[in-house]
Amino acid sequence: MHDKPRKSKELLVLQSLHPRMNLSLEEKQHFENLEKGYQGEITFYHQLKEYPFKHQLILYDLLLISNKTEFQVDSLLVRKNKIYLLEIKNFEGDFYIQQDKWYVASNGKEIRNPLLQLKRSEFLLQHLLQQWGYNVSIEPYIIFINPEFTLYQAPLHQPFIFRSQLNRFFKKLQASDLATTQKEKALTAKLVANHREHSSNERLPQYEYEQLEKGMVCSCCSGMLTYLNYKMTLCKKCGRQENLEAALMRNVREFHLLFPERKITLNAIYDWCKIISSKKTVRRILKNNLILIPRKKYSYYLFEK
């Protein structure tokens, strides 16, 4: 489950809300940052996949608690007696460092120093491992995944890996891919078992069912879909045609994500997805994909656990 990067709940919710309501400027900015961060992780994931490892155990997107403090790690490479703690940054453009502070070159705006975040994660992870009785050394790095990123006045001997150095880094890892033991496997399982699904730092916008635009959202461009025929939908924005069943189920999952307390009933989905005029069609698709809980008046559906 942690073998590839995952979208955070925050990102999923914002992605679903974005085409259905007006987000504030701040929310939009936050959404773009999360989206960009996720794209960076996906790029890293694909790059790393080019280098098959025999023994290395790889974990993505863990949210852990140590010392009563929550911290998130983008990627951990668990190896024999060593863990690589990797923070992936998808910064784009020119930046510079001045007296330990980081700035965007174009406007001089200060950004949060990613080194401090890395050190904090390293400290908290170390603490957690010690608490669990593991004596493992941690090697932390920030991976700057974007090829359009330049950092001026970057001091030497920092735990930075720039895009131009990534292949060399992977080759180095490949050359030292020692067989892992039961100890590393147990540690990996323990890390996964201690992962938290929900962050206490989630910043979700306020929203109500009534205020959201109903209809089905395109998976490619977030435009609204129109009904083409009993099998297909059409996005008028990007022109993509999508199978009606797949599109409907994606929008049912969105409904469930945004309103977990609401029951998935035929009427609820009929109203949410709006563009399908035949209730029979909606019922057929729900029955095909979900578990029906029959009730006299309002039967409802559940996702398979």
List contacts with Zn ion (CB under 5 A): 218, 220-221, 223, 235, 237-238, 240
For the chain, the maximum distance between any two Cα atoms, rounded to a whole number of angstroms, is: 71
User: What angle do helix axes 266-273 and 244-258 make, rounded to 10 degrees?
Assistant: 100
- 111 vs 220 by CB, closer to Zn ion: 220
Minimum distance from residue 169 beta carbon to Zn ion (Å): 37
Which of 30, 123, 25 lies closest to 73 in space, CA to CA? 123
Least separation in angstroms between CB 233 and Zn ion: 10
Question: Which pair of structure tokens corresponds to residue 202?
Answer: 């989630």
Residue 230 Cβ vs Zn ion, minimum distance, rounded to whole Å: 20
Comparison of 82 and 240: residue with beta carbon closer to Zn ion: 240
CB of 235 to Zn ion, least distance (A): 3
CB of 237 to Zn ion, least distance (A): 5
Q: How many CB atoms neighbour CB 156 within 10 A?
A: 5
Report phi then psi at 303, rounded to 5.
-75, 145
Query: Considering beta carbons, is residue 192 or 220 the nearer one to Zn ion?
Result: 220
Nearest to 66 by CA among 10, 141, 122: 122
Burial label, 86 (beta-carbon count in 10 A; 0-12, 13-18, 19+):
buried
Q: How far is the CB of 236 from Zn ion (least distance, A)?
A: 8
Q: Smaller CB distance to Zn ion: residue 41 or 242?
A: 242
Q: Smallest distance, Å, CB 29 to Zn ion? A: 23
The dihedral over CA atoms of 82, 87, 90, 91, expressed in degrees to the nearest 10, equals -120
Our CB check for Zn ion shows the closer of 159 and 223 to be 223
Q: Taking the mean position of all CA atoms in its chain, how far away is CA 18?
A: 16
Residue 248 or 290 having the CB closest to Zn ion: 248
Q: How far is CA 276 from the centre of its chain?
A: 31
Residue 21: strand, helix, or coil: coil
- Please list, in sequence order, all residues whose beta carbon lies within 8 angstroms of the beta carbon of residue 39, skipping any fewer than 6 positions away: 90
Residue 14: CB minimum distance to Zn ion, A: 18
d(CA 80, CA 240): 48
Q: Which two tokens stand for residue 217?
A: 């959202």
Pick the closer one to Zn ion by CB: 74 or 254: 254
Residue number with CB closer to Zn ion (180 or 233): 233
56 contacts: CB under 8 Å, gap ≥ 6: 77, 78, 79, 173, 177, 180
